[in-house]
Amino acid sequence: MRQKQGIVYLVGAGPGDIRLLTIKGFEVLQKADVVLYDRLIHPLLLEWTKPDAEIIYCGKLPDRHLLRQEAINDLLVKKGQEGKIVVRLKGGDPSVFGRVAEEADALQAASVPFEIVPGITAGIGASTYAGISVTHRDYGGSFAVVTGHNKTASGEPTVDWQALSKGVDTIAFYMGVKNLPYISENLLLNGKDPDTPVSIIQWGTLGKQKVLKATLKTVAKKAKEEKVENPAITLVGDVNHLRQGKSWFERQPLFGQHILFARTDDEPSSTVESLRDLGAEVFEYPRFQIRFSEDKQIDYRLYDCLYFLSPKSVQAFFKHITDIGLDIRFIQADFVVRSKKSAKLLSSYACSSITIDEMEPGKKVLVLGEEMSEQEKSSLKKKLGDFDYFVSYQKALVSQSAATFERLWDEGRIETIVFPNEKSVVQITDALAKTKYTPTLISKHVEVICYGPISYQKAIELGYVGAKVLEHPNKEELIQKLGYSLVKR
């Protein structure tokens, strides 16, 4: 059998904010068999990969390389020749100091198909999120991007300093914090006004974004005093007058909040989207891969009631009857739900539903959902009486999600954990059971917020200390609580 042809996508991931990834970048990332990513890629971008995708960290650090560029080139060629869909994920735009031409040349020489997917470059993205437009009718009609270091032993950039100083209104230096004394000295020697305003934007477009304002004659000293480090963009020019106080990004109500929102299924949460819209960085964890049952022995026609435990069980049911070729018109059972989401999903299939309180006694009931514990079955039996149970789908943890958790934790980007229900407490604890991240350890470093008394009791039972409970278990109350915490800090 002929091997399928592979393809390599050289993708710009943007400056940090995951929502700045282009639509095309998102699409190819979702279908990739292999992803090679750099150090500055936001960990949450990898949550969009397939559960079985091979994730390879290229790990470039200053003065230390886990994979040298030549090895990365060889790996891209190898994976492409194996017939894989490969994504090389780079920060910003791959053509702006991303060495994309070298990777493209290697792929071209090996006759491996490739495409380049541009991204928002950091000089523009970070500046915009700091409230500074890189061009402006009053302050600057030209804009240049310049590397802040080179590959020589000294690492000092080699550029035409006179042309930059005299001919360009706005200059964005990439990763040049270490060389700021050299950069500012050469600009001054070549005629740049010492009072030219400068902004250093560290971790631009992310929740930990910081902006240092200075002038060309003071920036090196100020950066040293404030202990500014890369990743950072140094923006030189009069456009910096546009920054007056905090930017639109920094004024968002939940700016600077780093939240882990505990999940119980693979569906995205509308609450999470609301938190992100207000400026928070949110990680939904754990991540699950859903496997629907292929059991052909179950006969839905034998039951008076089908009780759906979740929207996912509704999806599983309709997939299952399609797979086994059963016409829904032959099923005479009432459809029973325990959530409005399940009822809404059933109505999308033109099916009505009732609640458990509307069920008539003495009916033969089939419960559909994921595997339940004996305690859960016993609790359900008190409401339903005797019932049969069909495991219509199973959930498996996605290992990549655990790696995302570890990296965010190590970088101090998990400050609050939100438990929306009792089950979410169990899921998080089980997912981390074989790691060093015990409830006790987590409680020492993060704020734990529970939606209500039931989830709070489960959190205390499992070892989470100092958990807080929302007075009203809803999204609005959570946002208020997070906003209050931010003001307190």
**Residues recognised as catalytic:** 38, 60, 175
Cα 371 from Cα 229, distance rounded (Å): 49
- DSSP line for 150-165: -SSSS------HHHHH
Taking alpha carbons only, the member of 46, 49, 51, 39 closest to residue 92 is 39
Token pair 């780079």 in the structure block, residue: 90
Distance of alpha carbon 174 from alpha carbon 373, whole angstroms: 54
Beta-carbon contacts of 401 under 8 Å, excluding residues fewer than 6 positions away, are 47, 285, 286, 287, 431
Q: Which is nearest to 15 in space by CA: 249, 325, 237?
A: 249
* 294 Cβ contact list (under 8 Å, min separation 6): 320, 323
User: Under a CB-based contact definition with an 8 Å cutoff, are residues 15 and 38 in contact?
Assistant: no
Nearest residue to 90 (alpha-carbon basis) of 121, 127, 124: 121
Give the DSSP H or E segment for 322.
helix 311-323
State which amino acid sits at residue 174.
Answer: Y
CA 93, CA 121: separation in Å to the nearest integer?
A: 5
**Distance between CA atoms of residues 337 and 307, nearest Å:** 6
